[in-house]
Structure 1
Amino acid sequence: MIFDPAAPPQGTVRDWLDARAAAGGVALVFPETDDTLTWKDLRDTARDMARGLTGLGVAQGESIAIVHPNGREGVLALYAALYGGFRATMINLAAGPSAIAYALDHSGARFAFVHDSQTATIRDVAPDGLRIISADMLGKPQDIPAFDATAHALLMYTSGTTGTPKGVVHTHASLLAGGWTAALAHALTPQDRGFCVLPIYHINGLCVTMMGALVSGGSLAMTAKFSASRFWDQAGSSQITWFSVVPTIISHLLHSDTVPDAATRARLRFGRSASSALAVETQQAFEDRFGVPIVETMGLTETAAQILSNPLPPGTRKIGSPGVAYGNDVRILTPELTPAPPLQSGEIAVRGPNVMAEYLRNPDATAKTFAGDWLRTGDLGHMDADGYVYVTGRLKELIIKGGENIAPREIDEVLYSEPDIIEAAAFARPCKSYGETVEAAVAIRPGSTVSEDALIALCHDRLGKFKSPDCIHFLPELPKGPSGKIQRMKLSDLV
């Protein structure tokens, strides 16, 4: 099966894995262990495991929980579930016991592949009847029943920071389309090797890097987790040509003492930023220091990751925008859910082959998320005359002070212009006079003497007093989700 930029992938993950195995070559390298996994070995092991799961009596479309950090075992468990036509249910290791318990129960999983480091946690929270298994605990191999691209492939739970987590369901078609949109935007080829430092239980790590490599025929380097001190050495030894990270990782790399060597710098085509807005100052400082272009993008769990991307150099990258649509359609909606006029702000909506099938067992939430066949992202923004989208914030994160809407990102951008800021996020605090008022939290580099008064003065100068934070909290680090995205909604309670 061959990557076609003109049309989304046909068939199932099983079909594509068979094709990659037939073509041969390396699928993954693991720099922390010096291990290598070829496409053939990956397919053969995944197929054997899938036959063993069928032998256990696992039904087509049934959830198989996967509780693994990045690594060989987790990759094999994921592909085994996908190859067998089961619903790979990725459990967020950073979600906390109650969210993990909810996901295991709500998914209906009867079997779970669990990493040794997570066994005790899962035994404590698992619903009755959940059986922990491994590759050597499967049933007598049986033939795998046929299934098509409409079959459920992936179940991934949203963070649930504003309510009960929702189980996002992707079919084989939408999961592959998620890899296709990334491969399309970034012109990925079989010669490319990506760097997967984001967890594969997050949609970015799973779709952009793993599905992107499957669809394009390239390969990946994968680490158990991100390390600022080892990132460039691992990138060099693994001979990567691109990487996908989040803004907090870019900021931590920028403030680290390590740099890529000349060969690594020459080999790298681009770095990719997603999951939350990248501050303009951070992007410019990173490119100036390391000489590696950063392509800002945007995506959701519900869209199998990417919906927007800036073009690769020498195409026009508009810093401050996550770019234009690749492989799907994007529009701006008014509060009445009608198309907004050009340049008018509203809610960003998307339709395309990468959009989810449903929220599992939650028809009301599914219906509210769609306006016709357009998926409502919950993000606010506008589109310029060239089709570039500018994100101004989240509907749920808007600060409403005295009836005036304030986008937290405006304040974040100003705080990130201070070179000593590593992480920053503005948030709302209840207020008797205004309804809500503005505060912010920051993490600063060790040894910095930057003060609260200086940061507030900077905001006053750039934003005026009304939009500026009344106070700024200094924290060792800001709360983050599994992808590294700052969880703004938690800050008011935390501070």
Structure 2
Amino acid sequence: MPTRLQTVKKIIDQGAKQHPDRPFLIATEGVDEYLTWSQLQTHAQEIDALLDDEGIELGETVAFLLDNGYWTTILFLGVMYSGRVILALNALSGPDALAYVTEHSDAKLIFTNEKFTSKFSDVFLQIPDSTKIIDTDETTGPAVEFPEINTSKTENKICPDSIAILMYTSGTTGKPKGVLLSHKNVIAGGRNTAVAHQLTAEDISLCVLPLYHINAQMVSVMGTLVSDSKLVISDKFSTRRFWQDIHHHRCTWFSIVPTIISYLIDHDGEGTSDKMMLDIKRQVRFGRSASAALSPSKHQQFEKRFGIHIIETMGLTETAAQILSNPMPPKSIKYGSPGTAFGNQAKIIKDDGSEAPTGTIGELMIKGDNVMQGYYKNPEVTKETITEDGWLHTGDLAYEDEDGFFFITGRLKELIIKGGENIAPREIDDILYGHPAVLEAAAFGIEDEHYGQEVMASVALCPGMTVNQEELLELCIEKLGKYKSPKQITIMDELPKGPSGKIQRLKLSA
């Protein structure tokens, strides 16, 4: 595992030298597209030459607004290889958020196509003339003729602290913030994944999450890059294709989010035979869940149905994804916990900044090579978020048990304070997820003249299943008591989510 190499360029160059014909990427867009390490290096050099030709300086930002694909992955890595900063624009962003990000990021060039320029026509009309748009197909690449690669070009001045990625947070409480991740940060993010999950060159990963998602970028792409393994990338998640792609490409692990776990349980192996599922069970070492809390009931239900270990983890955009992970088999996991610290330090602090005793709820803090350089054009918030000695305020409420496992109880801004008592939304969520009809659940607080805040909740149901509010309320009262239980539970078609797919409690409480 080439973890001593501290830039994306050096890792790609070494891989192309040591095993040029080994497959790195398979894109499953109807017809499988294979990419070797040598081809990855050549395409990255072509992108470097194109950006030189376009007058894009080292350190300037280049964006893409594309679905997953062969060339989307190449652009993501190739721009970093060239010494420029890559920005993956979120295709699920609303027009206002997308317009803000394109303007705030100072992107000099955007790779996209007619699908997105039509969808966001008003946004693209606002883009300054100085920002060039290059029409790009996710499979066949940019609709330009690449300049000849300059083989005599001197080594560009990329160093570990050079910025590699500009990634915007979902901005649920204000304008999105631009997270600056250096080459050292993104390699640490990939390394933390590889070490926690014991990845080797024999592993094959399936990525169904979009490449504008920090999970896909760091866990799937960078985890594959630093472990010299192979990546299978799908254009989008499909309950039917998920298991078929795993079986066809002999994948050994996958990274998904809790909502996908719920869908896979609900669709119960759609598109597979008993023999295929048996083969999958034998070949898959583990599945990985992150990006939101995974309820213990859904976790255990998935493992019982499919016979595949799910490793719950936790990551942040500001930490190049993974910070915590449960251990790999045969070691024991803890349901309801995203695990212990891997590749970075973690601690819990009290309100006064001192370290909290074991079992005491406080704010989770992280320190390590994966911690961001700061927020783009926002030094004030950067200073508030990262301490002088390098600890990152995550904004997550958590406690650490006697075995070093962390348990997330909520967000500082989402904590429900009813009559002076702190109530963690996660505690209520887990009870609601325990009902077989519940697909999504979120508890939240609303203002109340008597208690300060009152507990409420919303749920979305699995397709074809029904349950009424009274039954869900009775379940909560039975497990939590009346004081902590929601006053009301609203059944919705779908809960509001941010661009990364996380449920947005603050929108529910508005």
| Superposed pair shares fold, TM > 0.5 | yes
Q: Is the 8 A contact 2:246 2:280 kept in 1?
A: yes
Indicate yes or no: 2:47 matched with 1:29: no
Could you list the per-position Cα deviations for residues 69-125 of structure 1 after superposition, in whole angstroms to 9, with x for gaps in the alignment? 211121121122111100001111111111111111111012111133212245421
Cα distance between partner residues in 1 of 2:395 and 2:301? 30
Give the number of equivalent residue pairs.
488
Cα distance between partner residues in 1 of 2:361 and 2:387? 17
Indicate yes or no: 2:310 matched with 1:272: no
Q: Which residue of structure 2 lines up, in the alignment, with residue 390 of structure 1?
A: 407
Shift of 1:340: 1.4
Q: Which residue of structure 2 lines up, in the alignment, with residue 174 of structure 1?
A: 185
Cα distance between partner residues in 1 of 2:113 and 2:369? 33
Indicate yes or no: 2:187 matched with 1:186: no
CA gap 1:9/1:138 in 2 versus in 1, 3 angstroms: farther
Q: Which residue of structure 2 lines up, in the alignment, with residue 57 of structure 1?
A: 55
Name the aligned partner's letter for residue 217 of structure 1.
D
Cα distance between partner residues in 1 of 2:262 and 2:501? 11
Cα distance between partner residues in 2 of 1:425 and 1:115? 36
- Give the secondary structure class of the aligned counterpart of 1:396: coil
Cα distance between partner residues in 1 of 2:348 and 2:33? 46
Q: Is the 8 A contact 2:361 2:399 kept in 1?
A: yes
Q: Is the 8 A contact 1:426 1:469 kept in 2?
A: yes
Could you list the per-position Cα deviations for residues 249-293 of structure 1 after superposition, in whole angstroms to 9, with x for gaps in the alignment? 111111113266211111000000101111000101110110000
Shift of 1:423: 0.9
Q: Which residue of structure 2 lines up, in the alignment, with residue 412 of structure 1?
A: 429
**Aligned pairs for 1:85-484 within 5 A:** 85-126=83-124, 127-129=127-129, 130-133=131-134, 134=136, 135-137=142-144, 140-141=147-148, 143=153, 145-258=156-269, 261-372=277-388, 373-484=390-501
- Give the secondary structure class of the aligned counterpart of 1:286: helix
Could you list the per-position Cα deviations for residues 144-199 of structure 1 after superposition, in whole angstroms to 9, with x for gaps in the alignment? 73321111100000000111110000011111110000000000011101111111
Cα distance between partner residues in 1 of 2:506 and 2:262? 21
Q: Is the 8 A contact 1:9 1:180 kept in 2?
A: no
Cα distance between partner residues in 2 of 1:115 and 1:358? 31
Normalised to the residue count of structure 2, the TM-score between the two structures is 0.93
Cα distance between partner residues in 1 of 2:478 and 2:263? 27
Q: Which residue of structure 2 lines up, in the alignment, with residue 84 of structure 1?
A: 82
- Give the secondary structure class of the aligned counterpart of 1:68: coil
Question: Which 10-residue stretch deviates more, 281-290 or 470-479?
Answer: 470-479
- Give the secondary structure class of the aligned counterpart of 1:350: strand
Q: Is the 8 A contact 2:313 2:324 kept in 1?
A: yes
Kindly report the root-mean-square deviation, in angstroms, between the aligned alpha carbons of the 2 structures.
1.5
Percent identity over the alignment is 45
Cα distance between partner residues in 1 of 2:65 and 2:463? 34
- Give the secondary structure class of the aligned counterpart of 1:255: helix
- Give the secondary structure class of the aligned counterpart of 2:259: helix
Question: Which 10-residue stretch deviates more, 257-266 or 320-329?
Answer: 257-266
Q: Is the 8 A contact 1:69 1:115 kept in 2?
A: no
Name the aligned partner's letter for residue 216 of structure 1.
S
Shift of 1:444: 1.2
Q: Is the 8 A contact 1:331 1:348 kept in 2?
A: yes
Q: Is the 8 A contact 1:198 1:483 kept in 2?
A: no
Q: Which residue of structure 2 lines up, in the alignment, with residue 13 of structure 1?
A: 8
Unaligned 5+ segments in structure 1 are none
Normalised to the residue count of structure 1, the TM-score between the two structures is 0.95
Shift of 1:211: 0.1
Q: Which residue of structure 1 lines up, in the alignment, with residue 139 of structure 2?
A: none
Q: Is the 8 A contact 2:253 2:287 kept in 1?
A: yes
Unaligned 5+ segments in structure 2 are 137-141
